[in-house]
Structure 1
Amino acid sequence: MNNLLSVMGVVKGKHALVSVIIAVLALTGCGNNATDATQGEEMNAKGSAAEASVKVDEEWPEVLRVGVLPGEEEGKLSRGNQKFVEDLGAELGIKTELFVGDDYTAVIEAMRTKKIDIASFGPFSYIIAAERSGAIPFAVKAKSLEQAYYESWIVVPADSTAQTLEDLKGKTFLFADPASTSGHLFPRAVFIKQLGITTEEVETYFSNLSFSGGHDKSILAIAKGTADGAGVCSSCVQKVIDAGLVKETDFRIIAKSDPIPTSPFTYRAGLPGDLVEKIKAFMFEYHTMEPEAGFFSNGTQKFFPIEDKAYQVVKDTAKALNMSPDELLK
């Protein structure tokens, strides 16, 4: 941790927030100290109080809307999502609709304004959604709980001459979204750690650095050769491969991050308790219903229960930074 902090140096201005986030996220593999535990208890207490203060709807909604992030609505992915939503509605006996957000902010805001009732978020965007929109995690999609982790990859086109991160200097590079864990924070941390540069120097390391708007857009740009490098999540890339949009031979991986806890499915605080329980019962048995290929990877995944405490280290990070969602999402 000290080495990472010394590498990052002292940063100022608009990049300071991201720099400190990366530094504190490095603590995920270092265990918690007494201060971390105290912060965690405070966060849990405030989170529980906030959840308890939300008025529970007396009636089920006439339409239950499920939100998905960009990158989860292409080809077979779209058919899989739509079938999941239709199957959920058939089980519940109510109308359901799929909401496709333009970016992370759109999905977070849709839950805040009660335009959606269920949504999947990345680990870091979940923290923002929990604070801003009352999102409550309840399920993760994985082969097993032990495998409910993924990685951030630094990828380049298959025919690229780049073999290392150093080879990307002066090239074009894509992050996915400012609030993306594996599409922004972790790949940024990979450059800082492996190259020994600061987050400010990451900004000037490339000839052009921008946000694509989603992991799918990033990997498609790499496959088409319209970007020299990108930071993407391993599981997101696999989804795009499974959907037939790219092939494994279209890109190469030149660096990987440490494991990241996988994305949670959440429901908005205030949904009737009996509705939530029926949603959970359906999702935890969904893998037995032979859903259309595309929603579960090769039919080997399923939903597992998850709680907020699984993401506590990320929440502690946000709390320690006194981080404002408005600052991160603007």
Structure 2
Amino acid sequence: MLTLSLPRTLISAAVASAFALVAVNASADLSSRYVDNDGDMVADAPTDESQWVDPDTLVFAYTPVEDPAVYADVWSDFLDHLSEATGKRVQFFPVQSNAAQQEALRAGRLHVAGFNTGGVPVAVNCGGFRPFAIMAAEDGSYGYEMEIITYPGSGIESVEDLKGRQMAFTSETSNSGFRAPSALLRSEYGMEAGEDFEAAFSGSHDNSILGVVNKDYDAAAIANSVGTRMIARGVVNEGDYEIIYTSDTFPTTAYGVAHNLKPELAEQIQDAFFSYDWEGTPLEAEFANSGEAQFIPITYEEHWSVIRTIADANGVTYDCN
């Protein structure tokens, strides 16, 4: 088991070292549907005003979770704030999978969203997503760790013990749920899915955790922030699963907008994130369990550099057309 004591911020050099990857930035790989004249690796807003979108109702989606209804309540106060800031009705869209969220963005049915860490590059390159914020602690630190977990009594005490067993991932676009553990297992342990262990896909971190607790899976790769919140809500209990590996810190869910929103509206949405008062809200109650207390600004180019590096290590390409 690898135990690391690092600040709760992204330390890309340490992450790259841990995964034995070369710390180089991947170049932008935007779909031909988009242009990036300013070189910031995300789609520019259209210069033709006729292509701007200014809907009466804004559709917001949070990265898929085991029970979307729970998060409709969690986000309700923030969405009221967003409505007031923009003068628009705001609808919560309870997506059931990462693929559904990506397709909704690409099809123009999604205007504001929080995409999971590994899904951000897909959303940027294939859906024109423009991320601008993540959640952070009061001191500005942010992020989460990837953990590999198992159930008590499974006989799995170390990563090497995964050989011949079944391990659950979330989806192929997930950073902590697939790409980071795949890079780790390959580079540090010489283990490949389908050869050294059986891979399963649960669809979400919640499902992976519940699957391990219920012994449907021998082990799973998860984002520990999800596990922390599930324990705080009483969905699972301390001791229901054991941790055999903890990674360095990665950036968490990125929040942003579709590239073709009317620029004035996009600016209002961004301002709403940074002006939101968390105190006493359902958002504070839920995300305080994993240490978050505010939204802070980020850029895809800088803050997702290590995630692009991990994607490169897994041979990820973006065939969006």
Same fold, TM-score > 0.5, yes or no: yes
Aligned-partner SS, 1:174: strand
Match of 2:298 among 300, 306, 311: 306
Is the aligned partner of 1:87 residue 2:77?
A: no
Give 1:109-148 correspondences, 5 Å limit.
109-143=103-137, 147-148=141-142
Give the counterpart letter for 2:64 in structure 1: P
Match of 1:213 among 194, 198, 203: 203
What is the rounded CA distance, in whole Å, between the counterparts of 1:287 and 1:72 in structure 2? 27
Match of 1:252 among 242, 245, 251: 242
What is the rounded CA distance, in whole Å, between the counterparts of 1:49 and 1:139 in structure 2? 14
Offset at residue 58 of structure 1 (A): 5.3
Query: Taking structure 1 as reference, are residues 325 and 213 closer, same or farther at Cα in structure 2, changes over 3 Å only?
Result: farther
Give 1:1-150 correspondences, 5 Å limit.
26=19, 31-32=23-24, 36=25, 39=27, 50-53=43-46, 55-56=48-49, 60-71=54-65, 73-74=67-68, 76-143=70-137, 147-150=141-144
Q: Is the 8 A contact 2:140 2:296 kept in 1?
A: no
What is the rounded CA distance, in whole Å, between the counterparts of 1:281 and 1:53 in structure 2? 20
Residue identity over aligned pairs, in percent, reads: 27
Matching residue of 1:3: none
Aligned-partner SS, 1:170: coil
What is the rounded CA distance, in whole Å, between the counterparts of 1:203 and 1:135 in structure 2? 33
Q: For structure 1, which runs of at least 5 residues remain unmatched after alignment? A: 1-21
Offset at residue 138 of structure 1 (A): 0.8
Q: Is the 8 A contact 1:124 1:314 kept in 2?
A: yes
Match of 1:191 among 177, 185, 189: 185
Offset at residue 41 of structure 1 (A): 12
Query: Taking structure 1 as reference, are residues 322 and 165 closer, same or farther at Cα in structure 2, changes over 3 Å only?
Result: closer
Query: Taking structure 1 as reference, are residues 314 and 153 closer, same or farther at Cα in structure 2, changes over 3 Å only?
Result: closer
Query: Taking structure 1 as reference, are residues 164 and 317 closer, same or farther at Cα in structure 2, changes over 3 Å only?
Result: closer
Q: Is the 8 A contact 1:173 1:230 kept in 2?
A: yes
Give 1:318-329 correspondences, 5 Å limit.
323-325=317-319
Is the aligned partner of 1:274 residue 2:268?
A: no
Deviates more, 1:308-317 or 1:103-112: 308-317
Query: Taking structure 1 as reference, are residues 319 and 134 closer, same or farther at Cα in structure 2, changes over 3 Å only?
Result: farther
Matching residue of 1:204: 195
Q: For structure 2, which runs of at least 5 residues remain unmatched after alignment? A: 1-14, 31-35
Normalised by the length of structure 2, the TM-score is 0.79
What is the rounded CA distance, in whole Å, between the counterparts of 2:29 and 2:196 in structure 1? 40
Matching residue of 2:156: 162
Give the counterpart letter for 2:154 in structure 1: S
Query: Taking structure 1 as reference, are residues 289 and 95 closer, same or farther at Cα in structure 2, changes over 3 Å only?
Result: farther
Give the counterpart letter for 1:143 in structure 2: A
What is the rounded CA distance, in whole Å, between the counterparts of 1:48 and 1:257 in structure 2? 27
What is the rounded CA distance, in whole Å, between the counterparts of 1:45 and 1:96 in structure 2? 30
Query: Taking structure 1 as reference, are residues 71 and 41 closer, same or farther at Cα in structure 2, changes over 3 Å only?
Result: closer
Give the counterpart letter for 1:51 in structure 2: D
Q: Is the 8 A contact 1:140 1:305 kept in 2?
A: yes
Q: Is the 8 A contact 1:84 1:295 kept in 2?
A: no
What is the rounded CA distance, in whole Å, between the counterparts of 1:242 and 1:75 in structure 2? 17
* Number of residues of Structure 1 aligned to a counterpart in Structure 2: 297
The C-alpha deviation readout for 1:149-176, integer Å capped at 9, x for no partner, is: 2211000113433211222222221000
Deviates more, 1:171-180 or 1:275-284: 275-284
Offset at residue 118 of structure 1 (A): 0.8
Query: What is the root-mean-square deviation in Å for CA atoms of aligned residues?
Result: 3.4
Q: Is the 8 A contact 1:287 1:301 kept in 2?
A: no
